Amino acid sequence: MKEQDIKEVIKERYGKIARGEVTFCCPSCGPTVADQSLAVGYSAEDLELVPESAVLGLGCGNPTALADLQEGETVLDLGSGAGIDVFLAAKKVGGSGRVIGVDMTEDMVAQGRVLAEQHGFPNMDFRLGYIEQLPVDAGTVDVVISNCVINLTPDKLASFKEVHRVLRPGGRILIADLVTAGDLPPDVRASAAAWADCLAGAMGKEAYLETIRRAGFSEVTVVSEFPYEAPGMDERLRGKIISVKVRAVKGQ
């Protein structure tokens, strides 16, 4: 599939999720979006801190739990959706900090902006844009987080280079994502639905880590990993999809 076609399929799918037309979630499964969020690492206490409309059951981890966010830091969330991780990060960095959410889906950005205003978070900023061309100035961010999003882009190296560009020297990333162990069937790789499902675009684990290094990062570390499986998954994919959380640093 062409890159623009992939993006259009993904935007359409996540636009429907933002509008409440479907309740499909990226890598997790459960009867409710709260159950889906709990299954990938959010706590009940986390969900109580976030507006209900920001919890969409998306993601493959809880990056804010492992990013060691500090008061006063500037945080960028890639593929922020309606803002669950933006809200959690804003709580951690406080009024002296700032959190920027970037998403390519207009409905997600609009929803995040409304929620931020309704709930009194002036230190939040939701921006429309692609992670391969971030609408963020160079060297202005302390921490970049992301939750099952980079697998959706066909150009992961460009995305990580953009992350490196916007970070200050010594800045860090904590990325939750899906990677692969072994080759995926060609028909899955070519499937628009599998791209939107966060599967077709997943990169091999070692290639993924090497891509982060090629973008200029050091201290690239897998913080945690576990096999990803979901009810109804294609049997050919079982054992081949891995949920990982990766930390890395932009050198001084």
Q: Give pLDDT tens digits for 228-248.
A: 877 677 889 988 999 999 999
What total number of domains does the chain contain?
1
Q: Rounded to the nearest 10 degrees, how much is the dihedral formed by the CA atoms of 17, 97, 156, 195?
A: -10
Domain extent for 84: 3-250
CATH number for the domain including 110?
A: 3.40.50.150
**What string of DSSP letters covers the chain?**
--HHHHHHHHHHHHHHHHTTS----SS---SSHHHHHHHTT--HHHHHTS-GGG--S--SS-GGGTS---TT-EEEEET-TTSHHHHHHHHHH-TTSEEEEEES-HHHHHHHHHHHHHTT-TTEEEEE-BTTB-SS-TT-EEEEEEES-GGG-S-HHHHHHHHHHHEEEEEEEEEEEEEESSPPPHHHHT-HHHHHTT-TTPEEHHHHHHHHHHTTEEEEEEEEEEE---TT--GGGTTTEEEEEEEEEE--
Q: Give pLDDT tens digits for 79-94.
A: 999 999 999 999 999 9
Predicted local confidence at residue 24, as pLDDT: 52
Q: Give pLDDT tens digits for 136-173.
A: 999 999 999 999 999 999 999 999 999 999 999 999 99
Q: Give pLDDT tens digits for 21-50.
A: 776 544 444 567 777 777 777 888 988 888
Predicted local confidence at residue 168, as pLDDT: 98
Predicted local confidence at residue 26, as pLDDT: 44
- Please tell me the distance from the alpha carbon of residue 46 to that of residue 24, in angstroms, as a whole number: 21
Mean pLDDT over 167-181 rounds to: 97
